[in-house]
Chains A and B, each alone.
Chain A
Amino acid sequence: MKNVFSENMKMADLVCHNSKLLSVLSRFEINLGFGDHSIEEVCKMYNVDTQFFLLICNVYCDEDFTPHYEDLKCVNIDSMIKYLHISHNYYLHERLPHIEEHFNRIIEACPSKYAIPLKRFFDEYKNEVATHFEYEETVVFPYLKALENKTSDILGYNIGEFKGTHSSIIEDNLNDLLNILVKYLPADVFPKERIEISMDIIELSADIVSHAMIEDRILIPFVEHLELNNDESR
C-alpha cells in the first residue's frame, strides 16, 4: 500500500504542499498555527485520530488511492459522520452563498430576459444540493448510527441504495454553470467578477469530487463491511 503521508511529517509541510488540504483541516476543527509539530502531535492536540486523519488526506489528494479494508479499521462512525456533516455545512452555508452573492451581481447586470432563467437555474441547483445533503443527514447518518449500535430500526435500508446515486448531479450542474459563465454569457457582462466566480466554481467542483471520493472509498466500503458482520452475527 502506497501511503503518501505519514504521521511523522510536519503538519505545516503537509498543508503547504497540498493546499487543498487546508479545507480538510477546518473540517477536523484544527486551527492553523501549529509551528513545527508533526501530524501526529497536532492530531493529539485536537483529539483527532491520526490514522483517520491521514486516511482522509490520502484519499483527498490522490485519486489513485483506494484504501484496503485494513486501512479502514481506524474509521469510527461518529468521527466519520462529524467530518461529513461539517463538510456539508461548509458547502451549503459558506461556499454556495459566496458563489451566489457573486452570481447575483452578474445576474443583475444581465438583461432581464436572461436574469430570470439564470436565477432559476441557480436556485434549482441550490435546492438539489440541499436535498442531497439532507438525505444523507436524515437517512444515511441515522442508519449508520443504528448500524453501530446494532439497534433494530436498521432493517429495510442498505448502503447500496446510497451508492451511485450521490453527488454526480451536484457535479454535473456545477459544470453546467461553469460552461454558461465561460462560454455563453455575453462577454461584456462583469468580466472580472466572472473570472473570480469561475475560479471559485472550479475549486468547489474539485472539492466536491474529493468529497464524493471519501464517501465512495471510505464510507461505503466501511459500511458494507459492517453490514456483512451484522448479517453474520444475526
Chain B
Amino acid sequence: MKADNKIIIVEPSYLLSSGLAHCFDDSQNLTVTVQLDSVERLHEKLNINNPDILIINPLLLLYSDVVSLRQIIHDFPDLICMALVSSYVERNVLKQYKDVIELNDGKQKVISKIYALLNDSCSNAAQTESIELSNRETDVLVAIAKGLTNKEISEQLFISVHTVITHRKNIIKKTGIKSVSGLTVYALLNNLIDESEVNK
C-alpha cells in the first residue's frame, strides 16, 4: 500500500461530506484532497488530482447526464470507486462499486473497508506478473484434465482439498479457462498429458 492515498468525496450534503472527511483526520496515509457537492466538475477534478479513491453518493451518477460510473471506471481504471449510501439504492447499482460505506458505519469500519480495497488492488497488481503455472499447479491441472475430483486429487498429491481448490483458482486465473473440458484441451495443447490419458 502506498504511503499516501488521496480521497475525493462527492456528496451533496455538507454534513455527510464533512463528517466522512473527519474520519480521516488522524489517518497517516489517507488524505481527503477534494470535496464536491455535485458531479459537474468531477471528471475534470479526477484528471487534475489523480486520486486513488472516489467516495460518491451513487444517486448523483445514476441521474447525471454529464458523467456515468462506467465512463469513470473506463477512464480511470486504477481508481477505487466506493458508494456512500444515505438512502435506498438498488442492489444492482451498488454492485458496480468496489464497496459501500453506510451511514451507521463507524470510523474504524470506514477506514478498514478502504484499507481492504487498497491492499486488494496492490496484491492484484503483484499477482498478474506471474503467468506461468507452477509445478504443483501443473500437477493439479493434469489431474483435472484426467477427470479426477478434488478429493481424488488431494489423495493422489497428498495435499488438502482446500489446497487443491486454491490451485484450481490460480490455474483458472493464469490460463483464463474455467471449464474442465477447456482445461483438458489446454493440457493437451501444451503436451502436459497424452490423448490416451484423457478420461473418455
Please determine whether A120 and B176 come into contact, CB atoms closer than 8 angstroms: no
Cα A180 to Cα B178 in complex, Å, equals 11
Q: Report A168-196 CB contacts with B as 1/0, cut-off 8 Å.
A: 00001101110110011110000000000
* A128 and chain B: residue at smallest CB distance: B179
* A116 and chain B: residue at smallest CB distance: B195
**A contact patch SS:** helix
Could you list 30 A-B pairs, sorted by A, with CB under 8 Å? A1-B63, A2-B62, A2-B65, A64-B62, A64-B68, A64-B70, A64-B93, A113-B194, A117-B185, A117-B188, A120-B181, A121-B181, A121-B182, A121-B185, A124-B179, A125-B181, A172-B179, A173-B178, A175-B176, A176-B178, A176-B179, A179-B175, A179-B176, A180-B177, A180-B182, A180-B186, A184-B186, A184-B190, A216-B92, A217-B92
A161 at the interface (CB under 8 A from B): no
Least distance between A191 CB and chain B CB atoms (Å): 16
Cα A216 to Cα B188 in complex, Å, equals 37
Cα A175 to Cα B183 in complex, Å, equals 12
Least distance between A188 CB and chain B CB atoms (Å): 13
Contact A117-B178, Cβ < 8 Å, known A2-B63, A64-B69, A180-B189: no
Cα A186 to Cα B68 in complex, Å, equals 41
Least distance between B154 CB and chain A CB atoms (Å): 24
B134 at the interface (CB under 8 A from A): no
- Mark out the residues of chain B between 1 and 40 whose CB falls within 8 Å of any chain A CB in the assembled complex: none
Least distance between B187 CB and chain A CB atoms (Å): 9
* B92 and chain A: residue at smallest CB distance: A66
Q: CB-CB < 8 A to B186: which residues of A?
A: 180, 184
Q: CB-CB < 8 A to A177: which residues of B?
A: 182
Q: Report B163-200 CB contacts with A as 1/0, cut-off 8 Å.
A: 00000000000011111011011101110001100100
Which single member of B90, B181, B195 contacts A124 (CB below 8 Å)? B181
A63 at the interface (CB under 8 A from B): yes
Number of interface residues of A (CB under 8 A): 27
A114 at the interface (CB under 8 A from B): yes
Cα A1 to Cα B38 in complex, Å, equals 17
Please determine whether B90 and A176 come into contact, CB atoms closer than 8 angstroms: no
A15 at the interface (CB under 8 A from B): no
Using a CB–CB cutoff of 8 Å, the interface residues on chain A facing chain B are 1-2, 63-64, 66, 113-114, 116-118, 120-121, 124-125, 172-173, 175-177, 179-180, 183-186, 216-217
Contact A184-B184, Cβ < 8 Å, known A66-B92, A116-B195, A173-B179: no
Q: Which 3 A-B pairs have the closest CB atoms?
A: A176-B182, A179-B176, A113-B195
Using a CB–CB cutoff of 8 Å, the interface residues on chain B facing chain A are 62-63, 65, 68-70, 90, 92-93, 96, 175-179, 181-182, 184-186, 188-190, 194-195, 198
Q: CB-CB < 8 A to A2: which residues of B?
A: 62-63, 65
Cα A42 to Cα B86 in complex, Å, equals 43
Q: CB-CB < 8 A to B177: which residues of A?
A: 176, 179-180
Please determine whether A66 and B93 come into contact, CB atoms closer than 8 angstroms: yes
Cα A195 to Cα B194 in complex, Å, equals 28
Please determine whether B96 and A64 come into contact, CB atoms closer than 8 angstroms: yes
Q: CB-CB < 8 A to B198: which residues of A?
A: 117
From B65, B70, B92, B93, residue with most partner A Cβ within 10 Å? B92
Which single member of A63, A114, A216 contacts B70 (CB below 8 Å)? A63
Least distance between A190 CB and chain B CB atoms (Å): 15
Cα A177 to Cα B189 in complex, Å, equals 13
Please determine whether B96 and A172 come into contact, CB atoms closer than 8 angstroms: no
Please determine whether A121 and B184 come into contact, CB atoms closer than 8 angstroms: yes
Please determine whether B185 and A180 come into contact, CB atoms closer than 8 angstroms: yes
Please determine whether A117 and B184 come into contact, CB atoms closer than 8 angstroms: yes
Which single member of B62, B92, B96, B182 contacts A173 (CB below 8 Å)? B182
Q: CB-CB < 8 A to A172: which residues of B?
A: 178-179
